[in-house]
Amino acid sequence: MDADVIVVGHGLAGLAAAAEAADAGRRVVLVDQEPGQSLGGQAFWSLGGLFLVDTPEQRRMGVHDSHELALSDWMGSAQFDRDEDLWPRRWAEAYVDFAAGEKRSWLRSMGHRVFPVVGWAERGDGRADGHGNSVPRFHITWGTGPGLVEPFERRVREHVAVGRVRLAFRHRVDELVSSGSAGGSRAVTGVRGKVLAPDAMGRGKASNRTEIADFELTAQAVIVSSGGIGGDHDLVRAAWPERLGTPPAFMVSGVPAHVDGRMIGISRSAGADVVNEDRMWHYVEGLRNWDPIWDNHGIRILPGPSSMWFDAAGRRLPAPYLPGFDTLGTLRHLRQTGYDYSWFVLTQKIIEKEFALSGSEQNPDLTGKDLKLLLGRVVGDGAPGPVEAFKEHGADFVVADDLSDLVRGMNQVGGPEQGGAVIEEDLLRRQIEARDLQIDNRYSKDTQVAFIRQHRAYRGDKLVRVASPHKILDPRNGPLIAVRLNILTRKTLGGLVTDLSARCLSSNGEPLPGLYAAGEAAGFGGGGMMGYNALEGTFLGGCLFSGRTAGRAAAAATS
């Protein structure tokens, strides 16, 4: 045999799985179709946000959290309602135990640290028993995505140095190899595929698909940790659920093209069961990257609560479809408008305090652990540099000193000539003026204004995230800014069904011998542990938890 364990996919889940299996003394081959410069996968590009429960960081911010509250939030968000949700529900319970238990200390033992201000992402639909986070739980890694990848890459490379792990870059798996009698149980015993030509492209960019050789590797266990389908928009549209309306004709891509879902189909062909393929997570605050890394590269705005949100025709979105509250609810609402985009309207004061861009490369202060840059963010010394660069160069931004010029620019960026709707200045003005009148009223009837004040009651938001309430049309707060928001593909919430040992199950519910799955390919555990809705900070944590579980279980099952 070539190894005890083969791991297919060198993203965060794969690195965690390989490190854990090697720590247990097993020989591991880590296989990926991409070159070594893409080691770490999508996690490298992330903000590094992690869902953690009842932490010292929360308590220092005055946040009271508990396992019970987190589990209630999770189940309210997941809304499990299918027979296929047996294992996803069990994985959800196990993951909340992990997030409220050893997750933080386990990461800290590897040198991982978090930014002390806890973020409050995905606040939900406003119902006590509905989805959303009741309290801030979004812990940003100090160093963002690269800072989260680093300890796992370091662990793997330490094993490479002593010959326990082999890194097989540019090895594209096309088939899972099985052995056993025709009438008996067939076990997965390896992988087979093509060696691709070397490629010196930059991290995240498309690599060549030139085949130069065949390969076959054998092992006692194979772990599939190859990601989801977000880079293939045709697959996304094919799986798009009716409950979210019609699939968009235009989307921007939040992941590189190699996030293609190939291994999910290959695993299914080998006998593994796949469920909940219609559950997916896409953002509605996507920007076309003015300086793209991959084709059709999209960046997500992580907005504060103050920007006014309008559909393509200039009609204000109702609560709870407010910035940062209900991602899929807002997506469902916008798909009913007949257009693939919407608008934020805000001020310079709002963009300086409230706009953050998701991605390690868009946050040089946190990624580079630069305290001087970080201080500028905290004291509000202008908008962060990457945000100002988007404002200046981004195709989705309109900046103007008065509303008439703003509307004119909005219609140039998103009007009929671009296949969009016409925004009427009078309609937009009436809605903004009505909102501005509520700023003088401490007991505002405007839901969004009331939420802005509620946000500022949390010291973390008041410190770094939420602008003081002000009138949008007051020129002292300008200039005015409009931002066209596109739908951005991101995560697959369903996937390969796994038991709590990360073993892939067949359609009859029995383990498929030798095959394990982790990360997005397994719906982050069980075939979809997040159900219909994610609580944010759960994707990376799901990769870590399922990767760790798969690596340990595969090691225990091999000799």
Taking only the tens place, the pLDDT of each residue in 325-343 is 999 999 999 999 999 999 9
The answer to whether 21 touches 111, Cβ cutoff 8 Å, is no
Q: What value does the mean pLDDT take over residues 216-239?
A: 97
Residue type, 354: E
The reported pLDDT for the residue numbered 463 is 83
Q: What value does the mean pLDDT take over residues 470-478?
A: 96
- For 116-130, 273-287, 328-342, 474-488, which range has the lowest pLDDT when averaged over its residues? 116-130
Check whether 374 has a pLDDT greater than 80: no
* SS3 (DSSP) at 122: coil
DSSP 146-187: HHHHHHHHHHHHHHHHTTSEEEETTEEEEEEEEES-SSSPPE
Q: Give the Å distances, CA to CA, from 158 to 23, 31, 40, 161, 396.
A: 10, 17, 16, 5, 44
Distant-in-sequence, close-in-space partners of 297: CB < 8 Å, separation ≥ 6: 252, 253, 288, 289
Check whether 395 has a pLDDT greater than 60: yes
The answer to whether 175 touches 192, Cβ cutoff 8 Å, is yes
The residues with which 172 forms a beta bridge, in sequence order, are 194
Q: Give the Å distances, CA to CA, from 390 to 47, 94, 309, 362, 393.
A: 18, 40, 19, 10, 5
Check whether 379 has a pLDDT greater than 70: no
Check whether 181 has a pLDDT greater than 70: no
Taken in order 103, 104, 106, 111, the sign of the CA dihedral is positive
The rounded distance, in Å, linking the Cα atoms of 43 and 143 is: 12
Check whether 56 has a pLDDT greater than 90: yes
Closest CA to 525 of 506, 502, 541, 544: 502
How long, in residues, is the chain? 559
Check whether 124 has a pLDDT greater than 90: no
Q: Residue 511: left if φ>0, alpha if ψ -120 to 50, beta else—which one?
A: beta
Structure tokens at 395: 């195709």
Check whether 183 has a pLDDT greater than 60: no
The residues with which 30 forms a beta bridge, in sequence order, are 7, 167
Rounded (10°) CA dihedral 232, 237, 238, 239: 90
Check whether 383 has a pLDDT greater than 90: no
Q: What value does the mean pLDDT take over residues 517-542?
A: 96
The reported pLDDT for the residue numbered 415 is 84
The residues with which 344 forms a beta bridge, in sequence order, are 309, 483
Which of 121-135, 169-183, 376-390, 529-543 shows the highest mean pLDDT? 529-543
The reported pLDDT for the residue numbered 380 is 60
Check whether 394 has a pLDDT greater than 90: yes
The reported pLDDT for the residue numbered 465 is 85
The rounded distance, in Å, linking the Cα atoms of 525 and 74 is: 14
pLDDT in tens, 256-315: 999 999 999 999 999 999 999 999 999 999 999 999 999 999 999 999 999 999 999 999
pLDDT in tens, 511-525: 999 999 999 999 999
Structure tokens at 467: 């602008």
Check whether 8 has a pLDDT greater than 80: yes
The rounded distance, in Å, linking the Cα atoms of 195 and 168 is: 9
Check whether 381 has a pLDDT greater than 70: no
Phi, psi values for residue 507, rounded to 5°: -65, -20
The rounded distance, in Å, linking the Cα atoms of 368 and 365 is: 5
Check whether 184 has a pLDDT greater than 60: no
The reported pLDDT for the residue numbered 520 is 98
Q: Residue 464: left if φ>0, alpha if ψ -120 to 50, beta else—which one?
A: alpha
> Which residue would you say has higher pLDDT here, 186 or 41?
41
The reported pLDDT for the residue numbered 128 is 75
End-to-end CA distance of the chain: 12
The rounded distance, in Å, linking the Cα atoms of 95 and 525 is: 9
The reported pLDDT for the residue numbered 460 is 87
pTM: 0.96
Distant-in-sequence, close-in-space partners of 348: CB < 8 Å, separation ≥ 6: 383, 477, 478, 479, 481
The reported pLDDT for the residue numbered 375 is 75
Structure tokens at 367: 């990624």
SS (H, E, C) 177-228: EEECCCCCCCEEEEEEEEEECCCCCCCCCCCCCCEEEEEEEECCEEEECCCC
The answer to whether 255 touches 203, Cβ cutoff 8 Å, is no
Taken in order 295, 530, 536, 525, the sign of the CA dihedral is negative
The reported pLDDT for the residue numbered 185 is 67
The rounded distance, in Å, linking the Cα atoms of 313 and 206 is: 36
pLDDT in tens, 439-453: 988 888 999 999 999
Structure tokens at 110: 């590897």
The reported pLDDT for the residue numbered 523 is 98
Check whether 101 has a pLDDT greater than 80: yes
pLDDT in tens, 413-424: 998 888 899 999
The rounded distance, in Å, linking the Cα atoms of 361 and 302 is: 14
* SS3 (DSSP) at 550: helix
Phi, psi values for residue 483, rounded to 5°: -130, 120
The reported pLDDT for the residue numbered 322 is 94
DSSP 295-319: TTBEEEEE--S-SEEEETTSPBPPT
- Residue 54: DSSP 8-state: S
Structure tokens at 326: 């209900």
The rounded distance, in Å, linking the Cα atoms of 259 and 46 is: 14
The reported pLDDT for the residue numbered 377 is 63
Query: What is the side-by-side order of every strand in the sheet holding 5-8?
Result: 165-168, 28-31, 5-8, 221-224, 511-517, 503-505
The reported pLDDT for the residue numbered 559 is 80
Burial of 98 (0-12, 13-18, 19+ CB in 10 A): buried
Check whether 490 has a pLDDT greater than 70: yes
